[in-house]
Structure 1
Amino acid sequence: MVSVQSEQVREDLSVPSSVKIVIAGGFGVGKTTMVGAVSEITPLRTEELLTEAGEEIDDLAGVEGKNTTTVALDFGRITISSELVLYLFGTPGQDRFWFMWDELAVGSIGAVVLVDTRRLEAGFGAIDFFERRRIPFIVAVNCFEGSHSYTAQEMRVALDVSDNVPLVLCDARDRESCKKVLVSVIEHAMNRLDVMA
């Protein structure tokens, strides 16, 4: 028989709930940067140097200074509150690594589709991926110096994203900006659950 005191100790040592969020998007849009900016632990990165072998495959238009690429995933963690911890899984962006996306998405409550205004077309595949699988997602437009400036509505039209999908502007290098993106994903996923209930 378990004593009342033992049960109280168990309640006091409650473990926070954890949820999984996927950070997806095309090649070079800032997924690794976002995971690194917001993670409270040193993120796990699977980056490799870009080589001459990939010159014909990896389109560097708009990201000419990029010299590494994610080949499996990025992983980070952030504690939102004493009750909630987020595990972040960043996807590789190139088409040839998309076979991993299904595995990375398993068990996720939602996703961030990160897009770059210099290369909007790189976001279409990720948007389609989550729409087809009916996984709640938001679109986060990575805004930074030198990027084209558009309104959220202009971005929504350009990406052909419906009004029921949140679209936010962010800076993938800024921790506070990334936190707001993650809160938007959680809120969107919870709203979707409420609608389905």
Structure 2
Amino acid sequence: MDFKSSETITGPRAEDHLPHTAQAAVKIVIVGGFGVGKTTMVGAVSEIKPLTTEETMTQAGIGIDDNYGSETKTATTVAMDFGRISITERLVLYLFGTPGQERFWFLWNGLFEGALGAVVLIDTRRLEVSFDVIGRLEERGVPFVVAMNTFPDAPSYPIEDLRAALDLSEDIPIVQCDARRRASSRDVLMTLMHFLYSLTMSQAHT
């Protein structure tokens, strides 16, 4: 489930420039295990041509990268994905998709710097690949929401069962999404923004 584009970026287009009404820009990271749909989500929701750092998968990844459920995947993110979406006329989100393979996780520290929040994209066929991802966010104190990406053969579990399996507190939102669809991916980002707002209001009253 990858967003693919072979076009070469030759320079900024008119639609790539920030709206003149924009007053605030927020950095958001989209994280998850290998092949859960991070590149797809950034590509689906970005209002500008997304920047991707995908490379063709080679024999070097065999036995190292867990590609279960992504056996047909031919390219993988090796640095980051980048996109942008305007949530309102005044608020713009910069989206950074992280590489999923553990051997590239050393890049995460830089991507997390300055991030206001994160989306953890999960594949219910491989929940175990999300454990370390969530642990890293919790260690760094980055607020996050969890989005279940819908794959055709993925099992569906009640939200509370997923919450227990991922050992998440009751306040962390868990939503379902289709990372291929702009509206669905945008709804996930709106869930994150509402969650961040609620955290800010809670801290203001303590």
TM-score (norm 1): 0.90
Partner-residue secondary structure (3-state), 1:165: coil
Q: CA shift at 1:124, angstroms?
A: 0.8
The equivalent residue for 1:32 is 39
The structure 1 residue matched to 2:150, chosen from 137, 143, 147, is 143
CA–CA distance in 2 between the matches of 1:15 and 1:56? 46
Q: CA shift at 1:14, angstroms?
A: 5.1
Equivalent pair of 1:28/1:63 in contact (CA under 8 Å)? yes
Structure with more strand by fraction? 1
Structure with more helix by fraction? 1
Q: CA shift at 1:97, angstroms?
A: 1.0
The structure 1 residue matched to 2:180, chosen from 173, 178, 188, is 173
TM-score (norm 2): 0.86
Equivalent pair of 1:112/1:137 in contact (CA under 8 Å)? yes
Equivalent residue runs for 1:1-197 within 5 Å: 15-197=22-204
Letter in 2 for 1:59: D
CA–CA distance in 2 between the matches of 1:177 and 1:192? 23
Partner-residue secondary structure (3-state), 1:45: coil
Equivalent pair of 1:152/1:169 in contact (CA under 8 Å)? no
Q: CA shift at 1:71, angstroms?
A: 0.2
Whose Rg is larger? 1
CA–CA distance in 2 between the matches of 1:14 and 1:68? 37
Letter in 2 for 1:90: G
**Structure 1: stretches of 5+ with no match in the other structure:** 1-12
Letter in 2 for 1:167: I
Partner-residue secondary structure (3-state), 2:95: strand
**Structure 2: stretches of 5+ with no match in the other structure:** 1-19
Post-superposition, which runs of at least 4 consecutive aligned residues in structure 1 deviate over 6 A?
none
Q: CA shift at 1:133, angstroms?
A: 1.1
